[in-house]
Amino acid sequence: MDNDRVRAGVVDEFVLNRFRVVDTPAGAIGVVRTTDGFYAVLNRCPHMGAPVCVGTDLTTSTVASRPFEYRLAHEDRVVRCPWHRWEFRVDTGESIGNTTKARLLRFPVIVEGAEVFVQYRAARGAAARVKETPQ
Amino acid sequence: MSEALIDCEYHVAAPDLQLLLPYMEKSWAARFVRSRFSLPLGREHPGGGSLTEGSSLPDPATAGAALAAGTRAALLVPHQVMPVAGWTDTLLCSVYATALNRYVREHWIPADRRFRMAIAISPHEPELAADEIDRYGEDVSAAAIVMPLLATHLGQTHYRPIFKAAARHRLPVIVHPSGREGTIVGTPVLSGMGPRHAGEYHSLIWQAAVTNIASLVYDGVFIDLPDLRVVFAGFGFEWLPGVLWHLDMEWRSLRIDIPWVTDPPSVYVARHIRIVIDDLGLTPPEASRQIANMLAEGLLMWGSNSPFATNSAAEVLDAMPEKLRAKVAFGNAAETFGSRLLTEALA
Amino acid sequence: MNGVSKVSPGVGTGLSKPVAAALSIVDCDFHPFVPLQEVIARMPARARRSVQVSSYAAVLGREHNRFLIPTGEPLRLDAVPTRGGLAGSDPAFAVADYLDRWGIAAAVMMPIQAMGVIAWAAEEVVNSYLAAMNDLFLEMWHAEDPRFKMLISVSPHDPDAAVREIERLADKPGVVGFQIPMGEIGLGSSAMFKVYAAAAHFGLPLVLHPNSVDCSLQNSPSCAGRVTRSYAEHHVLLSQPGQGAATQLVMSGALERFPTMRVVLAEFGFSWVGPMMWRMDTAWQRGGGADGLLPRPPSEYLLNQLRFTTQPYDEPGNPRDLVPILDSMQAHRTLVFSSDYPHWDTDRPDVVLRRLPVELRERVAKQTAMETFGTRLGL
Ligand code: FES
C-alpha cells in the first residue's frame, strides 16, 4: 500500500485552489484542495509538457455564448497551463471548450486524518502525449 | 464533351462613362461629368496586369462565345467597382456601383443565358449597399455580391448591414483585390511600408485575405449569420493551410476571449469561406495538389479571370487532386451560389 | 518511496529531467530583460530627461488597453525567477531553468526592451538608450554565461548611428549579430545600405523580430488591413511584418546588393515561406517591377540569404501535412530552431525537434544556425 502512494502534506498546508507539487515515481503530481475536496493531476500538460500546476491557481473560464457575450463557467475548477494557456477541468481532466481531445492525467487523493496522500499508480484519463525524454 | 465548368470570376467592364450616365439621376450624371470623373479602365485588372497588346475587352455580343468550353454558368464581376475602395466621396461610390449594376443587368445579362451578375457594391456606405443588394434580391440573374476591401476588417460591425442583406438573400459575398491595398489611405495596408512596385504587391496581397478571414471567424460573423458565405477571389490559395493551422492554434490558446467560437476556426472556414483559384503563377503543380489535398473539399472553386486569364481551366484543374477536380470545376460553385446559378428561365 | 514525500512547492518541477546530453541546440530567439533603471542611469543627463524613458510603459511602447491579453500576462507563468522579478530577468535562473535543462549551446538574445524606440523622435535619446542597453546585455547576461549571445540593437531611425554602434561593439566577445527594431522603415531602401555594408564588413547577420507593438504605434510594423479588434486576431497576424520584411529585402534588390548578408526572421513562423516565394517568382517572371533589380529569381535570394525560425511551430491536424511545406522552403538550409523563452507562446525544444522529420533535426537544432552566425557562436 505504501508503495502506491506518496504523502502530499497535511490538510491545513493546502491553500484553497493552489497546487502543491509532489515528486512521485510516476512523475511530479499537483495536488489541490477545492471546495468539494482534493484533486490531483500529473504536472505535465498534454500539449507540450509544461508544468501545468505551476504558476496559476485553479481559475474560472468562459463558455459558449453569443458573439461579444462572456459567460463565466467552471468556477475555480480550471487548470490553465502556464505556457499556451490551454485549459482543463481539474476533476475530469477534460479540455474546456473542447479545444483538444487530450486530457490531464488524474490521480486519486486519499485523506487520512490530517494527512493527504496521492495514489500515483492509479492514473486515470488519457496518457499525456509528451514524454520527457527525446528519442 | 468538355467537363462542366462554372466560371466564378469573369470580368466585365463598361468601356465608356456615357454608358453609365443613363443609370444615374440627372443631377448625379451632371456631377460625374462636371468634375471630370475618370472611369477606371476596363482593360486594367485592379489587382495587377492588363490586357495584352492587341487584345480587347469582350463585349456582350461576343463574350458568350469566349467562355471556356463546357462553361454552364459565368459570374460577371464588374471589376471597375474595385477602385471605390480608395475614393472618399462615399455617396458617389454608391451611385457609381448602382449604375454599374444596371449597365450589367441591361447590357450583359440578356446576351447569354449562362451569365449571372455579381452585384457590385461599395463597402463605404453599408446601408446603401444593403439597399442595392435588396434591389436584386429576387432577381434570378444575380447570384452573388462583389466588393473590394476597406482597411476596416470584415468582422467589424461596419459591414454587418451588407452581410445581413447577403445572408437574407443567400447571396455569397465575393471580395476581390482593388489594386489600392498598401498604397491608398483607407484601403487595407500591406505589411512592410507599402509595396514599392507591382512585384511587392503581388507578393503580399494575400495578407489582406488572411486578416479578413481571421476577423470574420474570430468575431463570430458566421455565428450571427449562419447562411453567409464569403468568397475570396484573386488572392491565391497556396497560403491557406498554414493560416488554418495558426487560426486553430491561437483558438486553442485564446478561446477564453472568443468563447462564441465553439468549433475550430478551420471548421468555420470550411463551412463559410470559399476561395476562387484564378491564377497558379509559378506554384509547382505538384505543390498545388498537395496543398489542395490539405484543405476541405468544398473550399476551392475555379474562376477564369477572363479576359486577364493567365491559366486555362485545364491548367488549373490539372493542378488539383483528381478527387477534387469536378468539385473545383463545378460542384463547389453550384453548391455555393445555389439554384440561381443554373436556373434556365431568366427574365 | 515508502510514503516519504518530497514536497516541492517550487518552480518547474514537471520539467525536472535534464536532457542536456541528448541534444545540442542553438536557440535563435531568447528573450532576456535588463533593469531599465540601470539602462537609464547610464544615459547622458539630457537624454535621461526625455519623457520616453521615464516609465516602463513608455519603453514597452504598448497602449496597454489596445488589445488586452486575455489572461493578462504575456510571459510563461512557471518561469518566474526564484528570487522574484519578471520571467527572463534573472540570468542565473535562466541558465538553470532553460540553458542547462534543454542543452542549449547558444541562446541568441533578442531584447524586446529595445523595440519601443520605433516611436521615439529624438535620435540622440534612441542612440544613448540602445548603447546603454547593449552594454548591459553584455555585462549582465553574456558575462554571466557565455552561452548567452548578443545582438547589437541599432537605431531604426539613424543609419549613421547604427553603423557607429555596430563598429563600437562588433568585435566584443559574445556578439553574433545585430537587430533593428522593426517598424515602417524601408528595409530595402538605399538609406539602409550603409548599415548593411558595415554588418557585411564584420560578418554580422541581421535578426528581425516582431516589435511587440506591431499594429499599435504609428510607425510600428503594420499587419494587413488596419486595426485588429482582439488579441487573438492580432496574434494570428504576427507573421505579417516578417512577410513584409522578407518581401522588401528580396524584391528591393538589397540582398542582391549584399550577397554575404544573412537575415534571420525570428518568430514570424515559416509555413508561409514556400507559398510566398512562389508568388515572388511569379511577379518577377511577369516583370512586376523586381525584374530590373534582380538578375536571378527572388527565390534564390530568399533561399540563400533568409533564415526562418521554428517558433511558433505549426500544429496541423495531420502532422504529415508539414512535410511538403518544409520541402517547399528547403527547410534543411533555411530553418533554425527558436524557443521564444520565456514568452507564453514558447516552444519546447525537444518537442519541436522531435516533430521535425528525422533528417532535419540536426540541421535545425544547430548546423544551419552555425552556418548563419559562423564562428562567432564559438561552437
Ligand atoms: S504546454 Fe500546456 S498549453 Fe502548451
ipTM for this prediction: 0.95
The residue-averaged pLDDT of C39-47 equals 91
Note the pLDDT of residue B344: 63
Structural domain including A53 reads 5-133
Query: Percent of chain C at pLDDT above 90?
Result: 77
Q: What is the pTM of this model?
A: 0.95
pLDDT band at B192 (very low <50, low <70, confident <90, very high): confident
- Report the gap between the CA of B234 and the closest CA in chain C (Å): 13
Cis (ω within 30 of 0) for the bond into C342?
yes
Q: What is the DSSP letter of B202?
A: H
User: What is the pLDDT at residue A13?
Assistant: 95
Beta strands in chain C (DSSP E): 7-8, 25-30, 104-109, 148-153, 175-179, 206-208, 263-265, 306-309, 335-336
pLDDT at B2 (0 to 100): 83
What confidence score (pLDDT) does residue C22 get? 59
Comparing C291 with B13, the larger pLDDT belongs to B13
For residue B52, which of C279, C287, C277 has the smallest C-alpha distance? C287
- Rounded Cα distance between C285 and A21, Å, is 60
Taking the Cβ of residue C351 and every Cβ of chain A, the question of whether any pair is shorter than 8 Å is answered with: yes
Please give the pLDDT value at position B326.
98
Whose grid coordinates read 530595402?
C188
Residues of B in contact with A64 (CB under 8 A): 259-260, 262
| pLDDT for C65 | 85
Q: Ligand 1 pocket: which residues have CB below 6 Å?
A: A 45, 47-48, 50, 52, 81, 83-84, 86
The whole-angstrom separation of Cα C204 and Cα C164 is: 14
pLDDT at C248 over 60: yes
Whole-number pLDDT of residue B1: 63
Confidence band for B342, pLDDT divided at 50, 70 and 90: confident
Judged against a pLDDT cut of 90, whether residue B51 lies above it is answered with no
CB B21 within 8 Å of CB B32: yes
Ordered structural domains, chain B, with CATH:
5-341 (3.20.20.140)
* Amino acid in the structure at residue B281: G
Neighbours of A55 (CB within 10 A): 22
Is the backbone of residue B344 left (phi > 0), alpha (psi -120 to 50) or beta?
alpha
Give me ligand 1 centre to Cα B285, in Å. Answer: 37
Q: What does the block give as the cell for B215?
A: 476577423
Minimum distance, in Å, between the CA of residue B230 and any CA atom of chain A: 18
Mutate to test the interface with B, among C220, C226, C285 (most CBs of B within 10 A): C226
Q: Do residues C118 and C219 lie in contact, with contact meaning Cβ atoms separated by under 8 Å?
A: yes
Each residue's pLDDT expressed in tens, for chain A with a length of 135 residues: 456 999 999 999 999 999 999 999 999 999 999 999 999 999 999 999 999 999 999 999 999 989 999 999 999 999 999 999 999 999 999 999 999 999 999 999 999 999 999 999 988 875 444 443 332
CB of C328 within 8 A of CB of C274?
yes
Residue B210 to residue B217: CA distance in whole angstroms:
11
Signed CA dihedral, C356, C357, C358, C359: sign only = negative
How big is the A-C interface in CB pairs under 8 Å? 107
- Shortest distance, CA C233 to any CA of chain A (angstroms): 14
Number of domains present in the structure of chain A: 1
Residues of chain B with C-beta less than 8 angstroms from the C-beta of A79: none
Model confidence at C11: pLDDT above 50:
no
Q: Where are the domains of chain C?
A: 18-374
- What per-residue confidence (pLDDT) applies to B61? 92
Nearest residue to C155 (alpha-carbon basis) of C137, C176, C190, C129: C129
pLDDT in tens, B131-188: 999 999 999 999 999 999 999 999 999 999 999 999 999 999 999 999 999 999 999 9
Neighbors of chain C by Cβ distance (3+ pairs < 8 Å): A, B
Q: Tell me the pLDDT tens digit for each residue of C99-119.
A: 999 999 999 999 999 998 988
Distance from C-alpha of A94 to C-alpha of A109, rounded to nearest angstrom: 18
Nearest alpha carbon to residue C285 among B203, B9, B142: B203
User: For chains A and B, what is the number of CB pairs under 8 angstroms?
Assistant: 46
pLDDT of residue C119: 85
Residue B210 has pLDDT above 70, yes or no: yes
C362 pLDDT more than 90 = yes
d(CA B13, CA B309): 15
Residue C17 has pLDDT above 60, yes or no: no
Cross-chain Cβ contact C235/B254 below 8 Å: yes
- Cross-chain residue pair B236–C279, CB shorter than 8 Å: yes
* Cα separation, B118 vs A113, whole angstroms: 75
pLDDT of residue C208 exceeding 90: yes
CATH architecture assignment, domain C18-374: Alpha-Beta Barrel (3.20)
Q: Are B335 and B298 in contact (CB under 8 A)?
A: yes
| C73 CA distance to ligand 1 middle (Å) | 15
Q: Pick the atom of ligand 1 nearest to A52's CA.
A: 2
Looking at every residue in chain B, the average pLDDT score rounds to 95
> Mean pLDDT across the stretch C219-229?
89
Mean pLDDT of C298-324: 96
pLDDT in tens, C110-164: 999 999 898 888 899 999 999 999 999 999 999 999 999 999 999 999 999 999 9
Q: pLDDT tens, B279-319?
A: 999 999 999 999 999 999 999 999 999 999 999 999 999 99
- What is the average pLDDT across C225-238? 93
Chain B residues near any Cβ of chain A (below 8 Å): 219-221, 223-224, 251-257, 259-260, 262, 264
E runs forming strands in A35-95: 37-42, 59-63, 71-80, 87-89
Nearest CA in chain C to A25: C1
pLDDT band at B193 (very low <50, low <70, confident <90, very high): confident
CA of A80 to the centre of ligand 1 (A): 9
Q: pLDDT at position B53, please?
A: 66
Name the closest-CA residue to atom 1, ligand 1: A48
pLDDT at C184: 82
Question: For the purposes of burial, counting CB atoms within 10 Å of the CB of C370, is it exposed (0-12), middle (13-18) or buried (19 or more)?
Answer: middle
The C-alpha R_g of chain A, in whole angstroms, comes to: 15
- Cis ω for the linkage preceding C312 (within 30 of 0): yes
Instruction: Say how far apart CA C64 and CA C27 lie, in whole Å.
Output: 29
Helix (H, G, I), strand (E, B) or coil at B95: helix
Q: CB of C243 within 8 A of CB of B211?
A: no
Closest residue of chain C to B310, computed from CA coordinates = C286
Q: Where is C131: in which H helix or E strand?
A: helix C123-137
Counting from 1 in the atom list of ligand 1, the atom nearest the Cα of A48 is 1
Please enumerate, as own/partner, the contacts of C47-50 that have beta carbons within 8 Å and a separation of 24 or more. C47/C122, C47/C124, C47/C125, C47/C128, C47/C129, C50/C120, C50/C122, C50/C125
Grid cell, residue B133, equals: 443588394
Q: What angle do CA C198, C200, C201 make, to 5 degrees?
A: 65
Q: What is the mean pLDDT of residues C306-335?
A: 97
Q: Is C128 on the interface with B (CB under 8 A)?
A: no
Nearest chain A residue (CA) to C341: A83
Block residue for cell numbers 518577377: C284
Query: What angle is formed at CA A102 by the lines to CA B297 and CA C29, rounded to 5 degrees?
Result: 85
Q: In this predicted model, what pLDDT tens digit does every residue of C48-107 receive, in sequence order?
A: 887 666 655 555 667 778 888 999 889 999 999 999 999 999 999 999 999 999 999 999
Contact B245 C271 (CB under 8 A): yes
Amino acid, single-letter form, for residue C314: D
How many angstroms separate the CA of residue A2 from the nearest CA in chain C? 5
In chain A, which among 49-88 make CB contacts under 8 A with chain B?
Answer: 61-71, 84-87
Q: Is C374 exposed, middle or buried (0-12, 13-18, 19+ CB in 10 A)?
A: middle
Provide the angle, in degrees to the nearest 10, between the axes of the packed helices C298-305 and C240-251.
Answer: 120
| Interatomic CA distance for residues C257 and B172, integer angstroms | 47
Length in residues, chain B: 347
Nearest-CB residue to C232 (from B202, B236, B258): B258
Nearest Cα to Cα of residue B83 among B132, B120, B40: B40
Burial class (CB in 10 A: 0-12, 13-18, 19+), B176: buried
What does the alpha-carbon distance between residue C36 and residue C58 come to, in Å, rounded to a whole number? 11
